[in-house]
Amino acid sequence: MTLEIIIPLRNPTEVLDKSIESLIAQTDRNFSVLISDNHSTKGQEYIGRARDRLAQSGIAVRKIEPPAELERVEHWNWAHYQSSGDWLKPLFVGDWLEPGYVARIHEIVAAYALCRFIHCNYRLYQHGVQKPKASSPSRWSGRFYTAAEMQDVVLRHGMQFGPPSGVAYERTIFLALGGYSPVLPITADCLLFCSMAAQFGAVAIPEPLLNFNIHANRFSTHLPQIRRETLQETHTFLFALAYHAWTENVRIPLLGFLRLLLRTFRSYLAER
């Protein structure tokens, strides 16, 4: 199995160094790196340095650029389509992996023949907040959960998979689902990961092997200012998931789903 780590970036800052360091520190070096630069106008020195350091450490690295500048989510998709690994793992600038991450992915893929989507717990580092926060351990870790089981999980609990840097997936399922939805720029990852889990099953790694860094330049830093759009997008993707379950003749946990919708609405009102 080959694993490719995809780093889509634009105008990176020094936080890229931390991500690259974490790749060099992996105990299992059986992976390659694809850096996709969306026509950066600054920060080229960090990209050049990342490339050199990976190559010097014996990690295969490719740098690519789309034919023209793309929107943020479009660029993620384009970068994924240029990849060549059997498995793909997005890693966003500033996030970093614990040294055992890649080894753990290889271990899980070898252990579960049907596994096509892996998510791991993470520690959250928020801009301006000193202490990291660990995500609560997943309710469904420890074994391979089938598509039918995960269908129920996503319809009751919604997004359970953390940020894109916390997941790895088989290239085939990314291609089959088409990718991230550019018209849902806030929740594109939620829809894709919930669909992956609900259509192909999932394995969760209970240990926090990812450090999710909401640094100053990150899109997520602006989420508190766009709560209304977030709510609209969240409801759209949840309805799409429920509708898909209905078309597939899957029993929808109606009460659980309604509770989920209400929860999202309540948290919107509370944060307002």
Partner 1 sequence: MSSSWLEIIMPVRNPGTKLLETGASLAAQTDRDFGILLSDNHSTTGQDMMEQFHHEMASAGISVRQVKPPYALGRVQHWNWAHAEGRAEWLKPLFVGDLLLPLYVERLRQRIQIKSGAQIVRCDFQMRKGDKISATSVPFQQTSLTPAEFLKYYPLLGNWIGGPINMAYRRAAWQAAGGYSTQLPGCADLRLNAMLAMRRGLEVIHEPLAVFQLHEQRFSHGIGKRRVNGCFELWLILRELRTYCLKASLPWPQGGLGRGLRLQMKLDYWDPFKQRIKKILLGS
Q: Which stretch binds partner 1 (CB under 8 A): 28-36, 55-63, 67-75, 119-127?
A: 67-75
Length in residues, the chain: 272
Size of the site for partner 1 (CB under 8 A): 41
- Contact with partner 1 (CB under 8 A) among 75, 89, 215, 218: 75
2 counts as binding partner 1 under rule CB under 8 A: no
247 counts as binding partner 1 under rule CB under 8 A: yes
243 counts as binding partner 1 under rule CB under 8 A: yes
- Contact with partner 1 (CB under 8 A) among 195, 203, 218, 257: 195
Nearer to partner 1, 45 or 248 (CB): 248
77 counts as binding partner 1 under rule CB under 8 A: yes
User: Would you put residue 128 in left (φ > 0), alpha (ψ -120 to 50) or beta?
Assistant: left
Q: Which stretch binds partner 1 (CB under 8 A): 10-18, 88-96, 182-190, 205-213?
A: 182-190
Q: Which two tokens stand for residue 80?
A: 């994924």
Q: Which helix (H) or strand (E) holds 204?
A: strand 202-214
CA distance 109 to 189: 22
Closest C-alpha to 88, from 50, 116, 120, 57: 116
229 counts as binding partner 1 under rule CB under 8 A: yes
Residue 203, beta-bridge partner list: 118, 144
Residues whose CB is less than 8 angstroms from the CB of residue 165 and which lie 6 or more positions away in sequence, other chains included: 90, 91, 92, 95, 97, 122, 210, 212
Contacting positions for partner 1 (CB under 8 A): 66-68, 70-71, 73-75, 77-78, 81, 172, 175-185, 188, 191, 195, 199, 226, 229, 232-233, 236, 239-241, 243-244, 246-249
